[in-house]
Chain A
Amino acid sequence: MGKSTVIPFGPQHPVLPEPIHLDLELQDEKVVRASTSIGYVHRGLEKLVEKRGFQEYVYVAERVCGICSFGHGWGYSKAVEGLMGIEVPKRAEYLRTIWHELSRLHSHLLWVGLGADGMGFESLFMHAWRLREIILDIFESTTGGRVIFSACKVGGVRRDIADSELKEIVARLDKLKKEIDAMIYIILGDETIHARLRRVGVVTLEDAIALGCVGPTARASGLPLDYRCGDEGGAYKDLGFRPITETEGDCFARCKVRLRELLQSIDIIKGCVENMPAGDIAVPVKGFPPAAEHFTRVEQPRGEALYYVKGNKTKNLERFRLRTPTNVNIPVLVKMLQGCDLADVPNIILTIDPCISCCER
């Protein structure tokens, strides 16, 4: 047995888009122990709720993350709506579902690019990000923004999408679907990707349950945990949503779940467009949040996020709490790294799709 060595991994590292630090204890090329620390860019956004009006804070909630920004705006709005007993119009729920699923497409395509880049598959990285541009263009034409949308508000949404524009979106998604199909064929059939991802970073179903995994990380281990099956709202119940699962639990299975979810998101958006109800897109919000509290959840691209709000009869909320999916997936990452090869560390980290800015609310 070789000498034990501790090497620091991050907070600045080529495969990490955001700062997280890992101390990897190695024996030869094997990781025997990993410990993590975060908080390099902690922003105190939860604390900021005490200084911003409850309606104004939607803009702050969206800025928690640049990738799932719509989902955070929706989660916060939904929590306040639950607290104040506001019922959102059906059309607004469908529009929220469309934007949320577009965010999932955007997030998963971004992840495919980052994952490919981490493996040195540069052409796939550029191809995935080229496809992501199509989604960003749809965001720009429907909300005016490419990263932060300000489309969601307490009581509904700020913007409507005309029926003609919805049809155009479907036509663009049909074209995109063909390109995604071709990309999936390449990824699932590529020998190098198989060699790098298969039987690497395995999480069994028992481990996934014991370590509290969420999102594609849990579903790749056969755990059908998806809050879109719960009372998420939106159009999921009407469209009969069923989660996508794989059973192998390795890096390749996590990759497959995300690729299949790309196609599923396109189908959900098309279902929303076909069944889009007519009517208002928002209801007026009167008064201040009562002295009460409310929990709600949203299935973000990376997994389940929990939102908590506590009112005190004033314009400002007393407490806002956001428990993000990466926050829960850090423990499983630590377990996955134990016993892996040093060369596999970047791939294992990337396949949980960590979003450190989400952790650093």
Chain B
Amino acid sequence: MQQQIIQVEASDILKRTARFKKDGCRLVQILCTRIPEGYELTYSFDKNYFLYNLRTIVPVSGSVMSVTSQYWYAFVWENEIHDLFGINVEFIAPEVDYGGHFFQLARKTPWHELANAKQPAAAVKVNLRSGLGIDASVKPAVVPKPVVPAVKPQEGDK
């Protein structure tokens, strides 16, 4: 698929979104990924089946402006990333600002924690399940135990 990622500052999101709207683009989705620096937000726009992605990084304590003033239907994703990740989205259109009650979840902001699956390639051993040809399990590489120096026998020991 034809696609492009454009890095922007978080403060420029609303301005750039307005420009995409003026150009007749459709907002396809808002994506949030939790990264060590905070939240990586991607706003995807489509025109003639070409996908333009605005990318910005918001710190954990930071916030981002809502784009519902340009694309009203963005409230679905803005409420979603607020409820799942805990990111603060400011000035969502009042009639569709659910204030954390869009998703009826048992636990608040379940995706706020960083992913724990990031392992270096060398630490992963792949087992092939015979017949199916699929990866069956992940086994971390065995870490050698530290060598403990032998205790010198004391005088008087038997």
Contacts and interface: CB of A to CB of B under 8 A. Distances in A.
A50 B117 contact: yes
Contacts of B33: 310, 318-319, 321
B119 A39 contact: no
Tell me whether chain A's interface is mostly helix, strand or loop, or mixed. Answer: mixed
Interface stretch (A109-117, A204-212, A249-257): A204-212
Contact of B119 (A54, A55, A308, A314): A314
Interface in A44-71: 44, 47, 50-51, 53-56
Contacts of B120: 313-314
A231 B117 contact: no
B129 to A, nearest CB: 9
Interface in A28-87: 35, 37-40, 42, 44, 47, 50-51, 53-56, 82
B134 A56 contact: yes
Interface of B: 1-3, 5, 26-29, 31, 33, 42, 44, 49, 51, 53, 71-73, 75-77, 83, 95-96, 98, 101-105, 110-111, 115-121, 124, 126, 134-138
Among B72, B76, B116, B119, the one with the most A-chain Cβ atoms within 10 Å of its Cβ is B76
A323 B45 CA distance: 13
Contacts of A55: 134-135
A229 interface: yes
A316 B102 contact: no
Nearest to A213: B73
A247 interface: no
Contacts of B95: 35
Contact of B73 (A42, A310, A316, A332): A332
B72 A211 contact: yes
Interface size class of A (residues with CB under 8 A): 35 or more
Contacts of A315: 124, 126, 135, 138
A157 interface: no
A323 B119 CA distance: 27
A209 B136 CA distance: 45
The 9 closest A-B pairs by CB, nearest first: A39-B103, A230-B49, A331-B73, A50-B117, A53-B135, A323-B29, A316-B117, A39-B104, A212-B73
B44 A306 contact: yes
A129 interface: no
Contacts of B5: 293
A330 B71 CA distance: 14
Contacts of A321: 29, 31, 33
A306 B134 contact: no
Contacts of B42: 308
